[in-house]
Amino acid sequence: MTEEQIREKVKAELSPKRFRHVEGVVHTADRLARIHGANPDHARLAAWIHDFCREWPKEKLVQMAKNSNIHEMFFEVTELLHGHIAAAIAPQEFGITDEDVLNASRYHTSGRRNMSLLEKVVYLADALEPGREYPAVEELRKVAEEDLNMALALSFDNTIEYLIKRRHPIFPLTVQARNEIWRVVK
């Protein structure tokens, strides 16, 4: 499938607002990939598909996850399922089979230890695309141009603080990712 065909398919699946978010993630992922030496084509592909299933009902995500081989730990926090399901259906749906691209979709919400360069680029593009607005975002955008790992570390802290304030559960992979990346950047 061409990038334009993928774009149209994603557009048909999402609300206009969410589609604008995805376009922003594609733009930012392309830019961060060029700056930091990741493959921009792969970054854009992962960005196009990362929220394809974001508006599916929770029941459908859980049902699909049970029928795919998605690890049961991801059922703990259902917000995490949409990136995994998108990766599971991407070979059939979009003809995308590159494992790094699929992992960038899988881990775009939680992160994980030992993220690839592409996974870091897509995680940060999701957090920093032009439509995102939160107090730390401008500073994070600047850091991300210079030091991807530092931006990732700060972004994990920001997400964890946000989750704590809302009394939401924190997924263990996010904590592991955060602890590991701070060891790298310090």
Nearest-10 crossing angle of helices 117-128, 99-106: 40
135 vs 186 by CB, closer to Fe ion = 135
The entry of ligand DGI, Fe ion, none that residue 163 binds, CB within 5 to 8 Å by partner kind: ligand DGI
23 vs 51 by CB, closer to Fe ion = 51
Is the dihedral angle over the CA atoms 131, 137, 142, 148 positive or is it negative?
Answer: negative
Among 23, 30, 51, 119, binds Fe ion (CB under 5 A): 51
User: Virtual CA dihedral for 59, 89, 49, 126, nearest 10 degrees?
Assistant: 60
- The DSSP string of 62-102 is HHHHHHTT--GGGGSSGGGHHHHHHHHHHHHHH----HHHH
State the SS3 of 17-39.
HHHHHHHHHHHHHHHHHHHHCCC
Among 38, 126, 141, 178, binds Fe ion (CB under 5 A): 126
Q: Residues 55-94 vs Fe ion: string with x where CB under 5 A?
A: ----------------------------------------
* Alpha carbon 115 to chain centroid, angstroms: 12
Shortest distance (Å) from residue 142 CB to ligand DGI: 20
Shortest distance (Å) from residue 118 CB to ligand DGI: 16
23 vs 126 by CB, closer to ligand DGI = 126
2 vs 16 by CB, closer to ligand DGI = 16
**Count of residues interacting with Fe ion (CB under 5 A):** 2
Interatomic CA distance for residues 121 and 104, integer angstroms: 8
Query: 110: part of which helix (H) or strand (E)?
Result: none
Nearest to 181, CA basis, from 158, 161, 164, 157: 157
2 vs 166 by CB, closer to ligand DGI = 166
Q: Where on the chain is the footprint of ligand DGI (CB under 6 A)?
A: 21, 51, 54, 77, 79, 108-110, 126, 159, 163, 168-171, 174
The entry of Fe ion, ligand DGI, none that residue 137 binds, CB within 5 to 8 Å by partner kind: none
Shortest distance (Å) from residue 135 CB to Fe ion: 16
Instruction: Provide the token pair at 85.
Output: 């399901």
* Contact residues: Fe ion, CB under 5 A: 51, 126
